[in-house]
């Protein structure tokens, strides 16, 4: 005798609701199972016959998502848009899904996410509500973003405070937050990094005349945001250590 499997016992678990239907593992903002995700006929325990695994040849009554008697399983998705794999119609759900997808790869500032939502025609009031909620739960934190940016870009690229502040402004970070973040670096640390940059670049300038070496090295520091006075002082000291005469050099030569 064939045992009928009650697929309602294998319904998908409910999605987290703290931030809406979307989640890091569900970037489209809806919980509809994809084709092939659900169990097939006889794929889960109890789908065969008792005794030796012989099949009765009978077709199972009802399809996946249907309970006994042909009734629709309450655990299956009921939204036609979800069944078709279409984006959710609710702007808030769409906004949450967009933000979660963008935050999965790397941290973003509130302004970056707001710009992304605007490009996708999310209403301003919906965008503000969703972004504020993300800030409340810590998924958006411009202060932490700025601190990590300064730490990474200074030690990784040797950028000075001026260049770091410029980059953070382009990402929409508030001026007060920027000042606090770049304040992690003091003048002594900045000058030490400048010396390290010049020391690494110095060898490649050997064989050039003094003025060309000066312009190349000082220009490198300037592009990284170092003040002119500091850049000239660091380069002059490095050239003097190699025996170059620098007494006649001034800011006009920079």
SS3 172: coil
Write the pLDDT tens digit of every residue in 34-50: 444 444 444 444 444 44
Residue 206: both structure tokens together: 């050997």
Contacts with 65 (C-beta within 8 Å, 6 or more apart), sequence order: 7, 38, 72, 73, 75, 76
Residue 243 confidence (pLDDT):
79
CA distance 180 to 192: 21
Surface-to-core class of residue 77, CB atoms within 10 Å of its CB (0-12 exposed, 13-18 middle, 19+ buried):
middle
CA distance 124 to 214: 51
**Neighbouring C-alpha atoms within 13 Å toward the C-beta of 32:** 17
Q: Which of 2, 9, 4, 19 is nearest to 134 (CA)?
A: 19
Q: Are 230 and 254 in contact (CB under 8 A)?
A: no
CA distance 67 to 46: 15
Surface-to-core class of residue 202, CB atoms within 10 Å of its CB (0-12 exposed, 13-18 middle, 19+ buried):
middle
pLDDT for 178 beyond 80: yes
CA distance 151 to 31: 38
Write the pLDDT tens digit of every residue in 23-34: 444 444 444 444
CA distance 26 to 229: 53
Residue 73 confidence (pLDDT):
42
Q: Which of 158-167, 171-180, 205-214 has the lowest mean pLDDT?
A: 205-214
Give me the chain's average pLDDT, please.
75
Write the pLDDT tens digit of every residue in 108-147: 999 999 999 999 999 999 999 999 999 999 999 999 999 9
- Per-residue pLDDT band at 87 (split at 50, 70, 90): low
Q: Which of 80-89, 175-184, 197-206 has the lowest mean pLDDT?
A: 80-89
Residue 20 confidence (pLDDT):
46
Taking residues 161-166, what's their average pLDDT? 97
Write the pLDDT tens digit of every residue in 211-242: 898 999 999 999 999 999 999 999 999 988 88
pLDDT for 60 beyond 60: no
pLDDT for 165 beyond 90: yes
Helix count and strand count (H, E) for the chain: 10, 0
């Amino acid at each position: 005798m064939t045992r009928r499997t009650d697929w309602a016992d294998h319904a998908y678990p409910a999605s987290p609701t703290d931030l809406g239907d979307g989640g890091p593992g569900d970037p489209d903002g809806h919980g509809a199972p994809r084709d092939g995700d659900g169990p097939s006929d006889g794929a889960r325990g109890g789908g065969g016959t008792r005794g030796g695994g012989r099949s009765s040849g009978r077709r199972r009554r009802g399809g996946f998502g249907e309970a006994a008697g042909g009734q629709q399983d309450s655990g299956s998705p009921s939204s036609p848009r979800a069944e078709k794999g279409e984006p959710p119609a609710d702007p808030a759900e769409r906004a949450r899904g967009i933000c979660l997808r963008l935050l999965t790869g790397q941290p973003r500032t509130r302004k970056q996410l707001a710009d992304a939502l605007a490009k996708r025609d999310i209403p301003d009031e919906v965008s503000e509500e969703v972004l504020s909620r993300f800030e409340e739960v810590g998924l958006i934190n411009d202060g932490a973003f700025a601190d990590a940016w300064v730490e990474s870009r200074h030690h990784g690229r040797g950028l000075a405070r001026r260049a770091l502040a410029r980059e953070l402004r382009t990402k929409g970070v508030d001026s007060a937050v920027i000042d606090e973040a770049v304040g992690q670096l003091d003048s002594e640390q900045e000058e030490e990094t400048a010396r390290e940059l010049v020391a690494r670049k110095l060898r490649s300038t050997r064989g050039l005349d003094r003025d060309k070496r000066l312009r190349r090295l000082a220009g490198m520091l300037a592009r990284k945001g170092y003040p002119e006075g500091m850049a000239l002082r660091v380069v002059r000291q490095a050239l003097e250590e190699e025996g170059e005469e620098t007494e006649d050099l001034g800011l006009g030569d920079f």
